[in-house]
Every structure is written in C-alpha cells, then in structure tokens.
C-alpha cells in the first residue's frame, strides 16, 4: 500500500519507515527535520502544524497514514492540546478531505495510566490518563472515534507500551514493544481487511504481559518477541522504589499522585 508517516524522523518513525518499506509498502514521510538515513529523500521537511501545502503533498495519493508526530513526553496543558489534539485533527481532516481511508494513530498506555495494575487489563477499561501527555492521547483517541463514526475512516489507536531495543526494567518485562513487533503491528493495521475502529495495546508477545492483546490479534497482529529473554539479567538486581511505583499502575511511575 501507499503509506504516509508523520513524525518520520522520530524514535519510532526512523524504524517504521524502512520496516514498512521492507514489508512491501510504498512509504513517504513528513517531519520538521530531515533524518540522516538512506531513505531521507522520501521525507518532506515541513512543520505539520502550520504547513497546509506540505500536509496535502504528503497525503495526496496515499491509502493509509501512520500518525506519530507529537511531543513525545509530558508538557503543559496547552502544549498537550496543540500537539496531540490539534495536530491529530489536522491529519484526520486532511485524510478526510483527500480520501485517505485508513489512519493508524500512535496513542499511549498513559491514556489509561492511572488504572491499577491487574493480571490482565482489558482494552475497554475507562480512560484514566496519568499526565497531560496521557490526557492528550486519550482526547485524540476520542477525536479518532468521531472521525470513524461520522466520516467512515478506518482507524486504529495504538496504546504503545515501552518501545525499546530491549527491556531494561521489571515493568518493561510486561510492557515492552520490540522494533520488529512495532513494524508488525502497524503493518497489520495497514493491511487488515476489517479494521473499522480499533484500540489496541502495543506490546510484544511478553510472557508477563498484563495488557490484553486479543484486539490486536483480531486485526492480524501476531507479535513474536518476548521480554522474558532478559528477565534473569533484570531481576538479578533487587527491586527498587522505582520498581514499586512502576508496578502499581498501568502508567508506571507516571501515575503518582501529587506530582
């Protein structure tokens, strides 16, 4: 498929651009900086928040857009609204206008971060953001739902866990998302024959996972990597206060009252 990636030079975008191309897709991207990668000529360098012409250029003729562009961490309320809700609205509106029928939105586990940790957290748990970052992601998920219901766009919201080369903490033994599985997840969303509207936890096939992967498997996501490979090394160090905070809520240490 012809796929556009916003935030193409970011931490996930840099992996996703070549990964989707290797999976057979025709990929183009947009970012405020040009990546130092062999595929840099596939990236439009522009500010997605203000450049209407660049947004139109990158979305014209594509069949799906993977929306990654956003502030990748906590900010103040206004910045969260602009980065997560405002920017997502621009992408959704551009997709609607240019007949791009499929959106893959990079949400976050922090949209439900204040949910107490359980043995298996269902995808239907109520929205409980742990930060303005999580609030922005939750609000953008709601906006995606509106565009699905009102305009018929097929949309997947990915509540991404801990995207790392490898896990490094006890929490990440449950929440890790490998590079390979991130590519598999987005590829499944792009190619699913019956996407509709889906909210999916973005984690690997971790033996200790406590987020329900059934919605992802329903659209063809079959992760293969497992954080358990590093369990003995990680657990060789005694648990710390950070580990204790990490284990209380879905959002880990982000979910601290009064912080």
* pLDDT category of residue 254 using cuts at 50, 70 and 90: confident
Round to whole Å and give the CA distance between 248 and 238: 17
Mean pLDDT of the region 107-125: 90
Question: What pLDDT is attached to residue 126?
Answer: 92
Mark whether 133 is an active-site residue: yes
Phi first, then psi: give them for residue 119, nearest 5 degrees: -65, -30
Q: What is the mean pLDDT of the chain?
A: 95
Q: Are strands 43-45 and 26-31 parallel, antiparallel or unpaired?
A: parallel
Question: What pLDDT is attached to residue 144?
Answer: 98
Q: What is the pLDDT of residues 125-158, one digit of tens each?
A: 899 999 999 999 999 999 999 999 999 999 999 9
Q: What global pTM score does this model have?
A: 0.95
Cβ-Cβ contacts under 8 Å for 103 (sequence gap 6 or more): 64, 65, 67, 91, 92, 95, 144, 147, 153, 154, 155, 156
Spans of all domains in the chain: 2-254
Catalytic residue among 133, 147, 201, 221: 133
As a CATH number, domain 2-254 is 3.40.50.720
């Amino acid at each position: 498929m012809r796929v556009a990636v916003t935030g193409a030079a970011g931490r996930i975008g840099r992996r996703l651009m070549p990964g989707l191309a290797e999976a057979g897709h025709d990929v183009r991207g947009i970012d405020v900086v040009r990546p130092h990668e062999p595929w840099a000529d596939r990236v439009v360098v522009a500010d997605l928040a203000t450049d209407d012409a660049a947004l139109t250029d990158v979305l014209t003729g594509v069949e799906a857009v993977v929306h990654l562009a956003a502030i990748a961490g906590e900010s103040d309320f206004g910045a969260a609204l602009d980065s997560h809700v405002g920017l997502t609205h621009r992408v959704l509106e551009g997709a609607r206008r240019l007949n791009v029928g499929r959106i893959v939105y990079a949400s976050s586990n922090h949209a439900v971060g204040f949910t107490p940790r359980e043995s298996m957290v269902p995808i239907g748990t109520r929205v409980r953001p742990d930060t303005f970052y999580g609030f922005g992601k939750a609000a953008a998920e709601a906006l995606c739902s509106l565009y699905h219901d009102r305009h018929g766009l097929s949309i997947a919201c990915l509540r991404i866990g801990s995207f790392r080369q490898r896990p490094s903490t006890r929490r990440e033994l449950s929440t890790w998302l490998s590079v390979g599985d991130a590519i598999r997840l987005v590829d499944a969303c792009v190619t699913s024959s019956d996407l509709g509207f889906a909210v999916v936890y973005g984690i690997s096939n971790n033996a200790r996972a406590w987020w329900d992967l059934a919605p992802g498997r329903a659209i063809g996501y079959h992760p293969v990597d497992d954080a358990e490979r590093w369990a003995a090394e990680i657990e060789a160090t005694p648990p710390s206060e950070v580990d204790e905070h990490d284990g209380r809520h879905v959002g880990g240490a982000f979910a601290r009252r009064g912080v």
